[in-house]
Amino acid sequence: MTPVLAIENLSLSIAGVPVVDGINLGVDAGEVMALVGESGCGKSITSAAVMRLLPGAVSQTAGDIRLAGESLSRLSERQMQAMRGRRLSMIFQEPQAALDPLSTIGTQIAESLRQSARAARPAVLHMLDEVGIADPARRIDQYPFELSGGMCQRVVIAAALIARPELLLADEPTTALDVTIQAQILDLLRTLARERGTAVLLITHDVGVVADIADRVAVMYAGRIAEAGPVHSIFAQPRHPYTQLLLASVPRLSDVPKSPLAVIPGRVPTPLEFGPGCRFASRCPRADAQCVAQTPPLRPLGDSDVACWHAA
């Protein structure tokens, strides 16, 4: 079966310096795929490449991005504009920043349908109800400043999903929300994905979010995929040292009170510091001369794919 989203050997660079290097990902209909990693590892810029919204300084140097088998990399900007909001949509980190403060939420949601607010009103009301906004007949004519952060995020989700896109990209969709609202938004995304058959690529640094919503996960480090596979396999038996340390650094209720938190020593290298080998080598307890000199390929191991010379 052709995946809804297929990222094939994607490489991105800034002034000739690689920032994303040979990424391969696929997301099926009705599936939530999480792309997780530390800040600066290349997650958000990968999602921007899928939407063809890369900053001017960033260029795609290799690879292809396909939506239901159709290459997005070869489309003109006019063709991409016609697809955004209809066949693929995006939810950004800050809901208030993504909404126009001078336009009602009904008008903004209607834009995704390429219809007037009046013509789209019944569909917008139905969508507001579907994303769990109470009293949609009143809310539809309100402005973003009249809504809470959680409601604004639901409005953004409604705008992204009203045209029933095949693919939804969610870039840190719960960052600005409190824990209770986070859980509601994640449950909403998961439910809508499965009921509508929408493929979801979730960008996050929060492994707790991944455990709660995702079907599969790809762990990204310094512009490369370190490990990818089903969520239950990655969490039960992480095989890459980075994944193991990342999961070990998450606080748990069973931890001894006031005990030191587990940390990953060192820092993520900058693109200018990327060497010829594994980019995690300088922080890895298993690293040897081979790790420093040679790039490990992403290879099958159990239920997962792992890029490590010493994965067990």
Rounded to whole angstroms, how far apart are CA atoms 213 and 95?
20
Name the amino acid, one letter, at 176.
A
What pLDDT, on a 0 to 100 scale, did the predictor assign at position 291?
95
Rounded to whole angstroms, how far apart are CA atoms 45 and 100?
23
Residues pairing with 93 in the sheet: none
Helix (H, G, I), strand (E, B) or coil at 98: helix
Whether residue 91 contacts residue 173, with contact meaning beta carbons closer than 8 Å, is answered with: yes
> pLDDT digits over 9-48, tens only?
999 999 989 999 999 999 999 999 999 988 888 999 999 9
Q: Is the pTM of this model over 0.85?
A: yes
**Is pLDDT of 215 > 70?**
yes
Q: What is the DSSP letter of 282?
A: G
Residue 290: other Cβ atoms inside 10 A: 13
What stretch of H or E contains 167?
strand 167-171
What pLDDT, on a 0 to 100 scale, did the predictor assign at position 176?
67
> pLDDT digits over 217-253, tens only?
999 999 999 999 999 999 999 999 999 998 988 777 7
3-state SS of 229-251 is: EEHHHHHHCCCCHHHHHHHHCCC
First to last CA, the chain: 31
> pLDDT digits over 97-109, tens only?
889 999 999 999 9
Higher-pLDDT residue of 191, 6: 6
